């Protein structure tokens, strides 16, 4: 006979066992439903978060492009610039992206064969097309600006100068760009745009503020003057210390500027040195002349027709009769060289009550710091004088160079072409005379001049300044937008979706492993 307590115990144990099986059966039965419900809830939450997070997202601005040919007196260069489609205060933030030097001389040298002037541009244009994206080419403004060489040709032969401009324009139109014209720019434009270029590259107009995360105008911009010395003209541009002048005005990045600028035609380096020879020749009664700016031991000939064929010779005595060539003998005397160079200037004829530069042209007193580029830089770079030195050190270095013989120079600088090497003494003394006697720099202000050819990896010249001014007239594009997600909601959505998939996998494993 089984004790009652034992039966009761067994009955209770059996009941508990049956209850446990029933509960397991119920949980096994409801498991898929719970999993499905959970998946639905998480999916709905993820979908809602995805839909809420969708908004218009501004894409980074694309770049616009522009091409500018600098058709100088001795050579032509092509520059390609780019700037974002959304401009800053109606002016593009422009940077140089490509440059190409055209083979051959300046376009004014094609006066006998104008069609070749256009053909000379094609290799550089072909390279530029590889730089500009295809979808941006047709809207890219393309412009050719001719400077002093073409100004002189226009004075001598207007019809030929127009023919050359037609031919270069015809060549540019063959390419898928927005041709804006080929013209001869004024000397004042050349000087002012060069000033804009320098101060833009030095961040004097606008700079990026990490605090404001935007481009801002500097509170106290240190505007720098520009000194440009080309082959046929020279320009000086700066912000005068007073307002007693009629300035060259323009507007950039929402601010107005007025500067003094003047261009002296026929006082570029090449034309000025030819003037010196004409003055020496006119003072001589022989076709053999001693040239103090040429190194001792040098002798060379020059055709009188080419020397007096320039439009810059109109105001000087005509070529001597019955003389077709002159023999130039170098004497290498820096003091006499400076005296000869001074003879091509007029420092006394000033009809203005204030002050003059030279040849009776009004000029305010030089003010502030200056950057000297083009031939200024090339000459002083050769003489290792581009670093800031006291004026006395510069003059001593030039005097020492001028005293060296022609044979010494040829053996020391065998990599230099003789046509350039023979002129460095003359060029250096011309620069000293132009800056000190012509523009009025002094012993104290000399060290305010820095000699440079590039700033911020961009070439100094008038072309970048022109492109900056042109962007004022090119409308901005509306910002590109894309329907997308903000980062926070998008991360949350991805998390919920991943969590939902992981939970589903876990529950399905439990279901099939029971």
> Catalytic residue numbers?
190
Integer Cα distance of 278 and 316 in angstroms: 8
Residue 470, H or E segment: helix 462-471
Sequence-ordered list of residues with C-beta below 8 angstroms from that of 301, at least 6 positions apart, any chain: 325, 326, 327, 328
DSSP string across 443-464 = TTTGGGEEE-SEETTEE-SHHH
Of 49, 366, 323, the C-alpha closest to 224 is 366
Tell me the torsion sign for CA atoms 377, 379, 382, 387.
Answer: negative
Integer Cα distance of 19 and 22 in angstroms: 5
Lookup result for tokens 């003494």: 425
Of 108, 61, 160, 111, the C-alpha closest to 476 is 61
Sequence-ordered list of residues with C-beta below 8 angstroms from that of 295, at least 6 positions apart, any chain: 330, 332, 402, 404, 405, 406, 408, 409, 422, 425
Q: Give the number of C-alpha atoms closer than 13 A to the C-alpha of residue 362, restricted to the C-beta side.
A: 10
Query: What Å distances lie between residue 219 and 203, 209, 216, 223, 440, CA to CA?
Result: 12, 12, 9, 12, 30
- Contact by Cβ (8 Å): 504, 35: yes
- Contact by Cβ (8 Å): 62, 219: no
Sequence-ordered list of residues with C-beta below 8 angstroms from that of 398, at least 6 positions apart, any chain: 334, 383, 385, 425, 428, 429, 432
Integer Cα distance of 510 and 506 in angstroms: 6
Six-digit token pair at 268? 């570029």
Of 117, 206, 219, 236, the C-alpha closest to 168 is 117
Strands ordered across the beta sheet of 248-252: 248-252, 255-265, 233-238, 225-229, 370-374, 449-451
Integer Cα distance of 507 and 31 in angstroms: 8
Query: What Å distances lie between residue 53 and 56, 406, 484, 490, 495, CA to CA?
Result: 10, 79, 8, 7, 14
Sequence-ordered list of residues with C-beta below 8 angstroms from that of 122, at least 6 positions apart, any chain: 171, 174
- Contact by Cβ (8 Å): 263, 187: yes
Residue 234, H or E segment: strand 233-238
Q: What is the 3-state secondary structure (H, E, C) of 19-80?
A: HHHHHHHHHHHHHHHHHHHHHHHHHHHHHHHHHHHEEEEECCCCEEEEEEEEECCCCEEEEE
């Amino acid at each position: 006979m089984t004790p009652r307590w034992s039966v009761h115990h067994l009955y209770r144990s059996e009941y508990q066992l049956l209850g446990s099986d029933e509960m397991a059966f119920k949980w096994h039965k409801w498991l898929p439903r719970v999993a499905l419900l959970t998946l639905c809830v998480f999916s709905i939450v993820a979908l809602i978060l995805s839909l809420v997070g969708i908004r218009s997202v501004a894409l980074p601005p694309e770049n616009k492009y522009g091409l500018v040919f600098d058709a100088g007196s001795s050579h032509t260069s092509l520059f390609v610039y780019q700037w974002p489609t959304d401009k800053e205060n109606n002016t593009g933030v422009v940077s140089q992206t490509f440059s190409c030097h055209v083979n051959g001389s300046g376009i004014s040298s094609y006066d006998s064969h104008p069609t070749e002037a256009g053909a000379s541009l094609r290799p550089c244009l072909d390279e530029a097309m590889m730089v500009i994206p295809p979808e941006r080419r047709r809207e890219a403004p393309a412009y050719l600006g001719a400077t002093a060489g073409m100004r002189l040709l226009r004075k001598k032969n207007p019809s030929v100068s127009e023919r050359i401009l037609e031919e270069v324009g015809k060549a540019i139109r063959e390419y898928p760009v927005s041709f804006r014209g080929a013209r001869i720019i004024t000397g004042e434009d050349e000087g002012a745009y060069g000033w804009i270029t320098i101060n833009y590259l030095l961040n004097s107009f606008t700079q990026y503020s990490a605090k404001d995360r935007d481009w801002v105008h500097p509170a106290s911009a240190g505007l720098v003057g520009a000194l440009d010395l080309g082959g046929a003209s020279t320009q000086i541009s700066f912000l005068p210390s007073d307002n007693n002048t009629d300035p060259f005005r323009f507007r950039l990045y929402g601010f107005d500027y007025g500067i003094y600028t003047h261009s002296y035609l026929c006082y570029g380096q090449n034309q000025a040195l030819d003037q010196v020879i004409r003055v020496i020749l006119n003072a001589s009664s022989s076709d053999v002349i001693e040239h103090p700016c040429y190194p001792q031991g040098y002798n060379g000939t020059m055709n009188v027709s080419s020397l007096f064929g320039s439009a810059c010779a109109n105001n000087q005595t005509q070529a001597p009769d019955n003389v077709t060539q002159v023999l130039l003998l170098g004497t290498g005397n820096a003091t006499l060289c400076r005296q000869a160079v001074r003879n091509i200037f007029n420092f006394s004829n000033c009809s203005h009550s204030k002050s003059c530069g030279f040849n009776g042209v009004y000029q305010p007193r030089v003010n502030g710091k200056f950057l000297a580029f083009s031939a200024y830089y090339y000459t002083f770079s050769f003489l290792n004088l581009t670093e800031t030195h006291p004026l006395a050190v510069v003059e001593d270095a030039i005097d020492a160079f001028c005293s060296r013989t022609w044979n010494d120079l040829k053996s020391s600088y065998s990599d230099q072409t003789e046509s350039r090497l023979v002129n460095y003494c003359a060029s250096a003394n011309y620069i000293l005379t132009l800056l000190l006697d012509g523009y009025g720099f002094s012993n104290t202000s000399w060290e305010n001049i820095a000699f440079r050819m590039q700033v911020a990896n961009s070439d100094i010249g008038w072309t970048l300044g022109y492109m900056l001014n042109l962007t004022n007239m090119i409308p901005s594009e509306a910002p590109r937008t894309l329907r997308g997600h903000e980062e926070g909601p998008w991360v949350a959505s991805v998390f919920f979706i991943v969590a939902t998939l992981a939970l589903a996998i876990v529950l399905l494993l439990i279901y099939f492993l029971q």
